[in-house]
Structure 1
C-alpha cells in the first residue's frame, strides 16, 4: 500500500507518496511561502479592478491577493476577511498574486493547512522520517525527481518528455523513436505520471505525436485516465496529437517552486545534504555567490542546522561553481 514519507527539514518540509519503492506524488513546502490555500485572513480592499468581478486586497503581511468576486457594498479602503483559494505563485518577471474570496459568514482568522495536515487528510498512512541516517526519500528516487522538475527533461522507455513552464499553461512535449501510435500512448502515460508526481495543476497541455486514427487517439487518452487520479477535466486528443488537461490549482507545482528561485532551492538542498553528511568537526558549504548570500541572510536556517547537527557551519563563496553545483563536506574548522 502507498504511504507518505514526511521529512521536516531546515527551510522546508518535504513529502513523497511512495508505493513499491516509486514516488507517485511529491511536494515541498518552503517555510517562507506566504499564506496557504485555505487560510482565512484579515485584508484591506485596495483597488476595485472590475466592479462585482475582481478587486485587489492587501493582506496583513503586505502581500496582495485578487478577490474574485469582491463582496457587494464594500468600497476601497474597507477591511474584510478573505479566504485564500490559491496561494501566490512566483513567476519570472511577474509573480502571480494569491487568489481569494470573501470568507464565509461567521468565519474566524486561521492559517491554511500545512503540508503535514494535507497529507494526513489524504487517506494514506504517513510515516515521519528523520533528517539524518537512512534516507528513505532518496531511496525512492527523490534526487532524480528534483532533477526532472528542475531541468524539465523526463525520460521514459522509448522516448522522453520536455516540460516547459509558460504564463498560460504547463506544456509537456513528447518525443521518441517508437512508432507514432505507440509513442503517443507511452508519452501520454509518462506525462500523466509526471503531472501527478510533480503536483502540476491549472491548465496543462500535452503535445503527442500526430496520430490520425481515432482508436489510437482514444488509446492515448485512456492512458492519461488510467494514470492521473480524478478530479481533472481534459479534451479529446485531436488529430495533431494535442490534449489539454485542467486540474484545480491551489499552489505552485514542484517545477514552478524549484525554478522560481533557483538559488534558494539550491540553498535548501545544500542544507538537506549538510544534515545528512556524516563526520565530526565543522560543516563546510561551498557554493555560488547567490546561494551563499541566501544562507548568510537566513540566520534562522543556519542556527537550526547547527543546533540539529551540533556542529558549527562555515560558508565559502566559490565563483567557479554553478548555482546547482554547491557541495558539502565535514572537517576541521579552519582558523
Structure 2
C-alpha cells in the first residue's frame, strides 16, 4: 500500500511517497516567503520585454515574468497574477518566477502538505520521537543521489547532471547493450519522478543498432514516466530528449543550489532525533556556521525540541 510520509522539519518540510518500502517520490519545501505555484497576487507591470507577449511585474516581496500580456495593457498598469512556475536558482543567478494574468481573488499557493493531502494517498505525519520511517525507506540515499548525481540500477549506473538548459542522464554499464539500455530507461523514468525533474531532459543511452531495440528503449520510458510529457525517438547515436512541465525546482537543483544550507538542515534533523540527553555542542563547517547564524530561529527550534542548549562551533 502506498502512503506519503511527511515531516514538518526545522527550516524545511519533507515528504516521500513510499510504495513497498521504497521511495517513489521525494519532495522538500524550504521555509520561505517566496510565492508558491498557484499563488494569486496583486502586481504591477513595470516593463514590457517582448511587445504584446511578455513583461516583468513586481509584487509585494518580489518580481516575476508575465506571459501572456493582457490585451491593451500598458507599462505601469496594475493587474492580478497567478504564479505558474516558482523561482529557479541557476549558477550565478536566480531565474525569476513565471506568472500568468488571473481574475481570481488573491490567495496563497498550496503548501507541500496540502498538495500531498489532495493527492488522495494516505498521509502519515512523522514525529522526531518516533522510529525514522523516512530513513527506513531510503531518505538519505535519495538525497545522496540528488547531490552526487550517481544512481545505481541493475547492471549499470546513471550519472544525473543538472544544467541551466536541461537535466542530462548518462548511462554506463556492462552486458548486452539493448538490455542495458532498456534497464537504464526504466531507471531514468523512475529517477525523473523521484526527484521531480521537469523541463528539458536529455538521456545518452548506449548506441544500439536497429529500429526495434531503439523502440524498446522508448517504450520503457513511456511505461515508467506518467503523462503528460513529450519525447523524441532514440536517434542513431542513442540520444533521447524528454520535455515535461516544470513548475517547481527539482530536488537536485534545490540541494545543489545551497549545499551548506542542506547540510545544516540535515544536521538539525539528526539533532531532533537524538535520544536524550542531547549533546549541546555541535561542530559544523564554516559554511554551515554562516547559514545557521543567518537563521537563529533554527537553533531556537532545535533547543525547544530537545530541551538542550544547542550551540554550534565552526571547525
Q: 1:158 aligns with which of 155, 160, 181?
A: 155
Local SS of the residue matching 2:280: strand
Q: 1:126 aligns with which of 103, 123, 128?
A: 123
Listed one character per residue, the Cα deviations across residues 148-182 of structure 1 (whole Å, up to 9, x for unaligned) are 00010111121101111111110011111122111
Listed one character per residue, the Cα deviations across residues 274-318 of structure 1 (whole Å, up to 9, x for unaligned) are 111123154322111111111111022111111122211111001
Local SS of the residue matching 1:13: strand
Listed one character per residue, the Cα deviations across residues 113-161 of structure 1 (whole Å, up to 9, x for unaligned) are 0101111111211111112331000000000000000010111121101
Local SS of the residue matching 2:89: coil
Structure 2 match to 1:101? 100
**Range 51-60 or range 66-75, more displaced:** 66-75
Instruction: Structure 1: state its 5+ residue gaps.
Output: 319-335
Structure 1 match to 2:36? 36
Q: How many residues align?
A: 315
Equivalent-residue separation in structure 1 for 2:64 and 2:258 (angstroms) = 21
Structure 2 match to 1:86? 85
Aligned residues of 1:235 and 1:245 also touching (Cα < 8 A)? yes
Q: TM-score, normalised by structure 2?
A: 0.97
Q: 2:209 aligned with 1:212, yes or no?
A: yes
Give runs of aligned pairs for residues 135-284 of structure 1, distance below 5 A. 135-280=132-277, 282-284=279-281
Local SS of the residue matching 2:124: strand
Structure 1 match to 2:5? 5
Structure 2 match to 1:309? 306
Equivalent-residue separation in structure 2 for 1:66 and 1:305 (angstroms) = 38
Instruction: Give the deviation of 1:33 after TM superposition.
Output: 6.3
Local SS of the residue matching 2:26: strand
Instruction: Give the deviation of 1:35 after TM superposition.
Output: 0.9
Q: 2:309 aligned with 1:286, yes or no?
A: no
Instruction: Give the deviation of 1:237 after TM superposition.
Output: 1.4
Structure 1 match to 2:58? 58
Give runs of aligned pairs for residues 10-25 of structure 1, distance below 5 A. 10-25=10-25
Equivalent-residue separation in structure 1 for 2:63 and 2:47 (angstroms) = 11
Q: TM-score, normalised by structure 1?
A: 0.91
Listed one character per residue, the Cα deviations across residues 241-297 of structure 1 (whole Å, up to 9, x for unaligned) are 111111111100000000011111111111111111123154322111111111111
Aligned residues of 2:40 and 2:105 also touching (Cα < 8 A)? yes
Aligned residues of 1:38 and 1:113 also touching (Cα < 8 A)? yes
Equivalent-residue separation in structure 1 for 2:277 and 2:76 (angstroms) = 57
Instruction: Structure 2: state its 5+ residue gaps.
Output: none
Local SS of the residue matching 1:225: helix
Aligned residues of 1:159 and 1:178 also touching (Cα < 8 A)? no
Alpha carbon RMSD of aligned pairs, Å? 1.2
